Structure 1
Amino acid sequence: MQPRAVDAAGVAHEIAGAHARIVSLVPSITELLFALGLDRQIVGRTGFCVHPHDKVRQVRKVGGTKAVNIDAIRALRPSHVIVNIDENERDTVDRLRAFVPHIVVTHPQTPQDNLSLYALLGAIFDRAQEAQRLSEALETRLHEAAAQMLPRQNVLYLIWREPWMTVARDTYIAAMLRLVNWQTLPDVEGGAAGAARYPVLDFGHAPWLAEVDRILLSSEPYRFTQAHCEALKGDPRLAGKRIELIDGELVSWYGARAIDGVAYLLGRAAAP
């Protein structure tokens, strides 16, 4: 019997043959598939799948992560479609199940979860050696982070404006930030009853704001700029706080980019 790999939905997948046709509906997974050397088997991706730049241009777009073009995917005759619990809608996945033989569900929630993600895709698509190399590189970074004695910083990580939105503590982003002892505020978890994974923030009604040391303005999904930083620095409610831009891809993208993401955060945390 062939060995099988179990995805985030608990579905066991047999090893795919060399002729697997893969559609990825997750930008960070698309980048990971290329890192695993699956270039010739990737037949579809979203318009948000922009890495690696020189390779994704050769792959057909099938809409966005939410606005998926079902007919475009059907025309590609994929054997496998890779989705993510947070990024793709359940209705879309259910419609795809009607004609796609294998739906692979992913759901990394911490940087360490990337190790099982590498192993999952490496096993399904017969890229175990490539997956192992990525795992070793990430483990080296994680050990580097664990060995640091970095001072605690309370951070507000902004992902949107009008309305202002931040991240709950049970998100992948918050877990990445904790690697360098940056603790996100507000102290909420999206899994709690009535809570949101990406809470809306009202600067006028946030008593915990006084405890924030750094305000981080992410480059995605909203593209914050230095002008936004300067505007916030002029807000008297934020006086004395360090306000700066941060690379959202390096903090929020799991997969292969997490390796550089950990190194990036270590460098930012160590900077004066």
Structure 2
Amino acid sequence: MKIIDQLNREIKLNKTPRRIISLVPSQTELLVDLGLETSIVGVTKFCVHPTHLRISKAVVGGTKQINFEKIKALKPDLILCNKEENTKEIIADLEVVAPIHISDINNLEDCFQLIKMYGELFKVEAKAIDLISSIEIERDVFQRHNNRTEKLKVAYFIWKKPWMVAASNTFINVMLNEAGFTNAFENETRYPEIELNNSNLAKADIVFLSSEPFPFKQEHVVEVQRQFPGKTVKIVDGELFSWYGSRLLNAYVYFRKL
């Protein structure tokens, strides 16, 4: 059978994949929530949901560095990658091992498309449709109860040394808007490096320090608060702002509390 991934690449498969390697943590979690855990043979060291996977499955490296021989020995039917999280070099190397499906997530529509693709690809269409419906319900509930008339402006830090923020053209920016905020760096793109005297940062109402990829701690809150004593500075769950797939089910509940 022939399938098309989110980069419009054609992939040829002889059968429904039953041996899957996932090199993307959020997609690994999605597979499990679609009832496909038994088909997973390899994951990354960052595939932390559910926690037992790194014990029960082979760990084949990270998202940027892999153990090629270990992946080859697992004899996968399909390898799942992502345009942003995995490198072109990794994908080129692994194409000789097995077919590769690449996701490209820029907004919620892309998320739903990927879930639907997995449903069709792995023959779990009903579970995929139910998952999309459940996420849409949570989103609708949040939007109906979010009656804030003025959106607060947020600076969202993802890294330190150098300080880096999420700007426009990122999935984090999409989720900030979903949560009812505006991005203080929406006039910039991707993940710019900044100094703490940045003018956009000075205009932000709130500063979010993400729990990932840099593991911000309370000491960093104190550091930023010292620079901006009048601002709210808060550590937020980075997974709920950057993971797509089934993690979106938890995002809107979190946004209500936030």
TM-score past 0.5 threshold: yes
Aligned amino acid, residue 162 of structure 1 = K
Choose from 126, 130, 135 the match for 1:129.
126
1:176 counterpart residue number: 175
Matching residue of 1:95: 93
1:248 aligns with 2:247: no
Paired with 2:4 and 2:101, the residues of 1 have a C-alpha distance of: 9
- CA drift of 1:34 comes to 0.6
Measure the CA separation in 1 of the matches of 2:13 and 2:127.
Answer: 15
Alignment of 1:239 with 2:236, yes or no, is: no
Residue range with higher mean Cα deviation, 137-146 or 155-164 = 137-146
| Structure 2: gaps (5+ residues) | none
Give secondary structure in 1 for the equivalent of 2:115: helix
CA drift of 1:222 comes to: 0.8
Distance 1:41-1:119 versus aligned 2 partners, 3 A rule: same
Q: CA deviation at 1:199?
A: 0.7
Tell me which moved more, 49-58 or 173-182: 49-58
Deviation track 1:146-189 (CA, whole Å, cap 9, x = no partner) reads: 33332301101011111111012110011011012211122234
> Counterpart of 1:215 in 2: which secondary structure?
strand
Aligned-partner residue type, residue 90 of structure 2: T
- Report the counterpart of residue 214 of structure 1 in structure 2: 206
1:145–1:110 Cα change, 3 Å: farther
Corresponding residue number in structure 1 for 2:22: 24
Alpha-carbon distance in structure 2 between the residues aligned to 1:183 and 1:17: 45
The equivalent residue for 1:67 is 65
Does structure 1 retain, via aligned residues, the 8 Å contact 2:159–2:214?
yes
| 3-state SS, counterpart of residue 112 of structure 1 | helix
**Structure 1: how far apart are the matches of 2:238 and 2:232?**
17
1:167–1:173: 8 Å Cα contact kept in structure 2?
yes
Q: How far did residue 56 of structure 1 move? A: 3.8
Report % sequence identity.
33
Q: Distance in 1 between matches of 2:202 and 2:193?
A: 17
Please give the residue correspondences for 1:153-232 in structure 2 after superposition, counting only pairs within 5 Å.
153-190=152-189, 197-204=190-197, 206-232=198-224
Give 2:209's aligned amino acid.
L
CA distance in structure 2 between the partners assigned to 1:95 and 1:200 by the alignment: 31
Match of 1:45 in 2: 43
CA contact (8 A) 1:50 1:56 kept: yes
C-alpha deviations, 1:103-153, integer Å up to 9, x for none? Answer: 101011123322111101111010111111110111112222333332301
The CA distance in 2 between the partners of 1:217 and 1:180, in whole Å, is: 15
The answer to whether the 8 A contact 2:6-2:114 is kept is no
Partner of 2:138: 141
- 2:256 counterpart residue number: 266
| Cα separation, 2, equivalents of 1:261 and 1:9 | 26
For residues 198-226 of structure 1, what are the alpha-carbon distances to aligned partners after superposition, in whole Å with 9 as ceiling and x for unaligned? 1101112x122232000001111111111
Contact kept in structure 1, 2:16 and 2:121, CA below 8 Å:
no
For 2:81, the equivalent position in structure 1 comes to 83
Residues paired across the two proteins, number: 256
Q: CA deviation at 1:18?
A: 5.4
Secondary structure class of the residue paired with 1:234: helix
8 Å Cα contact 1:177-1:265 kept in structure 2: no
TM score, norm. by length of structure 1: 0.89
TM-superposed CA distance for 1:19, in Å, is: 5.7
Conserved 8 A contact 1:145-1:179: no
Change (3 A) 1:259 1:243: same
- 1 CA distance for matches of 2:206 and 2:64? 32
What is the RMSD of the two structures over their aligned residues, measured on CA atoms?
A: 1.7
Task: For 2:94, give the aligned amino acid.
Answer: L
The aligned residue for residue 193 of structure 1 is none
